């Protein structure tokens, strides 16, 4: 196996193992209503790392689309989307750790709040993956207005997900 292939395999295996581990921690917490702050801190760390990495990939991909040169009249719209993604990235970097805040001193977890946070994060990561895949698919071609509208829509969905996450975290703080 070549070095590049071997490195990619290790990276994939590392990510796959983390996904399984995170899913196991969350499922256990949902099943028995208990968890530890250490486990939940790991969940927060992994999810936020995943979101930041994908946002950075989207921003880089949009930069490549704009440098393509075939989209001269659409560059302003693409810059707006890229600016919105930069803003989302800054918001994500400022999001407090959510999962470890869900664990009370006795180790119990509010299952309803945890499920709400999981749903928001699931939707956010799904929208982010869709956006990333969409950008990758149009990266080497001339982008049309319908594709730009799709990029706008997915970026708007991400902004809504971030807002929902903030709202949920405010509820958590009020309950504490």
Q: How many domains does one find in the chain?
A: 1
* pLDDT for the residue numbered 13: 45
| CA angle (96 as vertex; 134, 160 as ends), nearest 5 | 40
Distance separating alpha carbons of residues 39 and 25, to the nearest angstrom = 7
Average predicted confidence (pLDDT) for the chain: 82
* pLDDT for the residue numbered 94: 79
51: nearest Cα among 10, 83, 93: 93
Q: Enter the tokens of residue 73.
A: 């009249």
pLDDT digits (tens, 9 = 90+) for 115-145: 999 999 999 999 999 999 988 888 777 778 8
Q: Can you name the residues that pair with 103 across neighbouring β-strands?
A: 109
- The CATH number of the domain holding residue 122 is 1.20.1420
pLDDT digits (tens, 9 = 90+) for 151-171: 999 999 999 999 999 888 888
Residue ranges making up the domain that contains 102 = 3-175
- Whether 5 shows a pLDDT value over 60: the answer reads no
DSSP character string of 38-62: HHHHHHHHHHHHHHHHHHHHHHHHH
Distance separating alpha carbons of residues 28 and 135, to the nearest angstrom = 35
For the chain, helix, strand, coil in percent to 5 are: 85, 0, 15
Top-ranked range on mean pLDDT: pick from 8-22, 56-70, 96-110, 118-132? 118-132
Which of 4-12's residues contact partners 24+ apart within 8 Å by CB, and which partners? none
* CB-neighbour burial class of residue 137 (10 A; exposed 0-12, middle 13-18, buried 19+): exposed
* pLDDT for the residue numbered 69: 63
The pLDDT confidence band at residue 66, using thresholds 50, 70 and 90, is confident
- Whether 12 shows a pLDDT value over 60: the answer reads no
pLDDT digits (tens, 9 = 90+) for 22-45: 888 888 888 888 888 888 888 888
């Amino acid at each position: 196996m070549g070095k590049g292939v071997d490195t990619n395999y290790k990276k994939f295996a590392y990510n796959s193992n983390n996904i399984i581990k995170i899913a196991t921690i969350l499922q256990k917490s949902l099943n028995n209503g208990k968890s530890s702050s250490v486990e939940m801190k790991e969940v927060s760390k992994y999810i936020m790392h995943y979101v930041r990495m994908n946002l950075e990939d989207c921003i880089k991909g949009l930069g490549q689309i704009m440098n393509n040169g075939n989209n001269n009249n659409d560059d302003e719209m693409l810059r707006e989307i890229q600016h919105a993604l930069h803003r989302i990235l800054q918001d994500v970097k400022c999001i407090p750790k959510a999962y470890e805040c869900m664990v009370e001193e006795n180790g119990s977890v509010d299952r309803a709040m945890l499920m709400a946070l999981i749903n928001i994060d699931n939707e956010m990561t799904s929208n982010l993956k869709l956006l990333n895949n969409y950008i990758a698919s149009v990266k080497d071609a001339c982008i049309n207005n319908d594709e730009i509208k799709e990029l706008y829509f997915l970026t708007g969905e991400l902004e809504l997900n971030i807002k929902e996450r903030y709202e949920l975290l405010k509820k958590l703080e009020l309950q504490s």
